[in-house]
Amino acid sequence: VTALDQQARKILRGNDRGGYTVPTDGLYPYQWNWDSAFAAWGFAQFDVERAWAELETLVSGQWSNGMIPHILFHKPDPGYFPGPDVWGTEGKGPVLSSGITQPPVAATFALATHEADPEAGLPRLRALYPKLRDWHRWFMTWRCEDGMIFVTHPWEAGRDNCPDWDTAMAAIDPVGVGEYTRRDTSHVDPAMRPTKEDYDRYIWLVQRGKRLGWDDAAMADDMPFKVADPTMTFILLRACRDLGRMADLLGEDRAEIDGWIDRLTEGAGRLRNGKGVFDAINLNTGAHSGHLSCASYLCWYAGIESEDMLACLDKAFEDTPYTIPSHAFGTEEFNPKRYWRGPIWGILNTLTGIGLAEMGHEDRAARLRRATADLIAEHGFAEYFDPLTGEPAGGGTFTWTAAIWLAWAS
């Protein structure tokens, strides 16, 4: 156990609020869905019991339609906006929550937690399994078109302000959004965060969901924001494979899951644009975004090979001192500091590295892992990093950066 391992464990312990972990103190004071699943994976490296508790608290917020929300508001915190009153989801789930979901990495990290202590973990896995299956089924019912998973709010994909959403965001006129006070920019330099134009639309979409009572059918009728997303499609495809492995371990029937895997595999192929790059599709226009992003590289994680993407990755290694930028270097939109428009996110590097290694690209996987480890060792456990200078950006002492250090990078 090195000094950095100790530091990473201390961050996880420090961000523990009792059964769940906040992404970082201040900026994100609640339980976030995929942050929490990464936290479980980090805890599984030294405290398996705590890892199970994290996942169990996450699924405790599941709605009756199967959706597991992107934020669970366990305790009020005035330091965050938009809080529960803005979302207006009372009565939808057992815990106050947001009304949208987030990338479903939980099944994958539940399986990893089980592997850390299989015998003791089997009953825990058995209890989680139907909840994760119902969540995946909700995705396939309400968020799937032609085998592609689409998002209905930029926050759903986790990549809040990435250029993949620009055309869909521009088509929204956030009329009537009213006055509100952002809290994020009091914690972090506004130049590292989404713009006011972005926030007006984020809040406008939340107000619309609230007005429609977060009813899936009502919301699906006419979606102002509907973008097929490589993050969600690749991650769900991967998570369904892991859910299938779980079903095998538990002796459950997996036919339905295999059907999802087939549909998603076909859908993932549709995300490939004319240049062979996996990108997003604005389903309200049918147009590909044309953007190479960190989500494009998740193909291997989903078990999909691509020579074009290998070539993009090799170029990305040469383009900037640090890899992988969340949006391709040398493009008009690239911004090394602004959240998902350029900065490096360790969790995306991790999923990409896992996929590369599994698909036989061990050299590239090792290179990416080393690069990510160096970034953390030199610049700390930041939320994200500037790909030109390596400088830390966003929140500090960040849970998922500590988690990937322990589980993958170190």
Active site amino acids: 160, 383
Would you say 160 or 200 has its CB closer to ligand DGY?
160
Would you say 41 or 155 has its CB closer to ligand DGY?
155
Q: Is 229 in the site for ligand DGY (CB under 6 A)?
A: no
- By CB under 6 A, the residues from 66 to 95 that bind ligand DGY are 70
Q: Is 383 in the site for ligand DGY (CB under 6 A)?
A: no
CA distance 22 to 73: 11
- Give me the long-range contacts of 371-380 (CB less than 8 A, separation at least 24): 371/322, 371/323, 372/346, 372/404, 372/409, 373/405, 373/409, 373/410, 375/322, 375/344, 375/346, 376/4, 376/346, 376/401, 376/405, 376/409, 377/4
Asked if omega into 324 is within 30° of 0 (cis), the reply is: yes
Would you say 28 or 135 has its CB closer to ligand DGY?
28
Per-residue binder mask for ligand DGY (CB under 6 A), 28-67, x = binder: ----------------------------------------
Residues 6+ apart with CB under 8 A from 185: 193
Would you say 44 or 96 has its CB closer to ligand DGY?
96
CA distance 339 to 336: 8
- By CB under 6 A, the residues from 254 to 273 that bind ligand DGY are none
- Which of 209, 220, 190 shows the shortest CA–CA distance to 86? 209
Q: Is 334 in the site for ligand DGY (CB under 6 A)?
A: no
- By CB under 6 A, the residues from 176 to 215 that bind ligand DGY are 184
Alpha-carbon separation of residue 249 from 233, 306, 349 (angstroms): 24, 31, 29
- By CB under 6 A, the residues from 110 to 129 that bind ligand DGY are none
Taking the complex as a whole, the smallest distance from the CB of residue 165 to ligand DGY amounts, in Å, to 13
Rg (CA), the chain: 19
Residues 6+ apart with CB under 8 A from 123: none
CA angle 200, 213, 195 (to 5 degrees): 10
Taking the complex as a whole, the smallest distance from the CB of residue 246 to ligand DGY amounts, in Å, to 27
Alpha-carbon separation of residue 350 from 71, 246, 323, 404, 407 (angstroms): 22, 22, 12, 7, 9
Biggest CA–CA distance in the chain, Å, is 55
Taking the complex as a whole, the smallest distance from the CB of residue 190 to ligand DGY amounts, in Å, to 12
CA distance 349 to 292: 15
Asked if omega into 82 is within 30° of 0 (cis), the reply is: yes
Taking the complex as a whole, the smallest distance from the CB of residue 345 to ligand DGY amounts, in Å, to 12
Taking the complex as a whole, the smallest distance from the CB of residue 319 to ligand DGY amounts, in Å, to 26
When CB distances to ligand DGY are compared, the closest residue is 155
Would you say 69 or 147 has its CB closer to ligand DGY?
69
Taking the complex as a whole, the smallest distance from the CB of residue 341 to ligand DGY amounts, in Å, to 14
Applying CB under 6 A, the site for ligand DGY has a residue count of: 4
Total number of residues shown for the chain: 410
Would you say 160 or 386 has its CB closer to ligand DGY?
160
Number of other CB atoms surrounding residue 389 within 10 Å? 14
Q: Is 155 in the site for ligand DGY (CB under 6 A)?
A: yes
Taking the complex as a whole, the smallest distance from the CB of residue 107 to ligand DGY amounts, in Å, to 20
Q: Is 160 in the site for ligand DGY (CB under 6 A)?
A: yes
In contact, 67 and 60? CB cutoff 8 Å: no
Would you say 234 or 339 has its CB closer to ligand DGY?
339
Task: Provide the edge-to-edge strand list for the sheet that holds 144-145.
Answer: 144-145, 148-151, 227-228, 281-282, 287-288
Taking the complex as a whole, the smallest distance from the CB of residue 198 to ligand DGY amounts, in Å, to 10
Would you say 155 or 329 has its CB closer to ligand DGY?
155
Could you list the residues that contact ligand DGY (CB under 6 A)? 70, 155, 160, 184
